[in-house]
Structure 1
Amino acid sequence: MKPIADLHVAEPGLIVIDVAAADEETALAFQEALANRWATAVADRTTREPGEPGVRLRCYLDLRQPTGS
C-alpha cells in the first residue's frame, strides 16, 4: 500500500484504516459496517499483494462526523 498522506491524519478524529482480509467480500463488508457509523471515504475494490494471502483495502474515516446509525 502507498504511504499515508499527512492530509489524511492532519486533525484529531481523522483515521486511516488498512484492512487485511481473507477475501474481498469480507473486506468490503467490514468497510460497509464502518460507513454505517461514520463518514467514510470508501474504496470500491481491494488489492492483492503477490505472494501474500488474502486481500487488502484502505479506507478513511472522520470520527467527527457520525452518520447517526
Structure 2
Amino acid sequence: MNQRRHPGVDQSMKPIRDVVVDVAAADDDTALAFQAALARIWATAPADRTTRTPGEPGVRVRCYLDLRQPLDS
C-alpha cells in the first residue's frame, strides 16, 4: 500500500499508528483546548495539566493519539 502511494518507502517499515503530540501554547486554556480538539477526532489519552519551564514563557502539554481509532463525527 505504501509503495503505491509513496514510491521508495521501505516496505518493511510498519505504519505509524501511535503518535505523541507535544503542544506549546501561551496559556493553559489554549493548550487544553487544542488537546480537546484532537480528542474530538482521534482516540486520545488526555493530559489533565500543563507544564511550565522556569524562565520560559508559555506552557506545554503532551497527549497520545491512537490513529487506529478515529472517532465518528
Deviations 1:13-58 (A, max 9, x none): 1100100000000000000000000000000000110011100000
SS at match of 1:48: coil
TM-score (norm 2): 0.77
- Note the residue ranges of structure 2 that are not aligned, 5 or more in a row: 1-14
- Find the aligned partners of 1:15 and 1:56 in 2 and give their Cα distance: 16
Find 2:18's aligned residue among 14, 21, 40. 14
Q: Distance in 2 between matches of 1:41 and 1:61?
A: 7
Of the three residues 39, 61, 66, the one matched with 1:62 is 66
The alignment of Structure 1 onto Structure 2 pairs a total of residues equal to 60
Choose which of 36, 40, 54 in structure 2 pairs with 1:36: 40
Q: Secondary structure at the match of 1:28?
A: helix
Gaps of 5+ in 1: 1-10
The TM-score with structure 1 as length reference comes to 0.82
% same residue? 73
Structure 1 runs (4+) deviating above 3 angstroms are: none
Instruction: Please report the RMSD computed on the Cα atoms of aligned residues, expressed in angstroms.
Output: 1.4
For 1:67, give the aligned amino acid.
L
